[in-house]
Copies of this chain bind each other. A is one copy, B any other.
Amino acid sequence: MVDILHRVGIEASVDEVYTALTTIDGLSGWWTDDTSGDTNVGGVLEFRFELGGFDMEIQTLEPAERVLWQVVDGPEEWIGTKVSFDLRQEGDYAMVNFKHEGWREPVEFMHHCSTKWAVFLLSLKSLVEDGKGQPAPRDVKIDNFN
């Protein structure tokens, strides 16, 4: 099993970041415009992109501390993997420790997704700090298709 790890520090409160991770408005503002679903624990969020998408079951919601999803539909390599955001206030910054864990193999698609997650976490930072993220389809493109 191999994991994608990232961290960003956002000049904001952990509460503001938590809202961006747990509401349809927030998620649509940094990951993809086309976000829908049930935002409660046990609910499924549907994230759609030009080339497909991901369905995430919400497994944990600890206000201002932790969000955990499990992928229940999407690309084969993603199914069963888990995505988590751990939050911690450090002075003026909300530190966000991100993990996308449980990849079976470090396939090339995992390399791509790792870079792409960084792009979207910087979009989350922009959204919370400046009120404006770069969700798909306005995200930073990192190669020939995405």
Contacts and interface: CB of A to CB of B under 8 A. Distances in A.
B112 A143 contact: no
A43 interface: no
B7 A115 contact: yes
How many copies, total?
2
B5 A111 contact: yes
A144 B90 contact: yes
Interface stretch (A44-52, A56-64, A91-99): A91-99
A106 B97 CA distance: 11
A106 B3 contact: yes
Interface stretch (A19-27, A31-39, A75-83, A118-126): A118-126
Interface of A: 2-9, 11, 90-93, 95, 97-99, 106, 108, 110-112, 114-115, 118-119, 121-122, 125, 140, 142-144
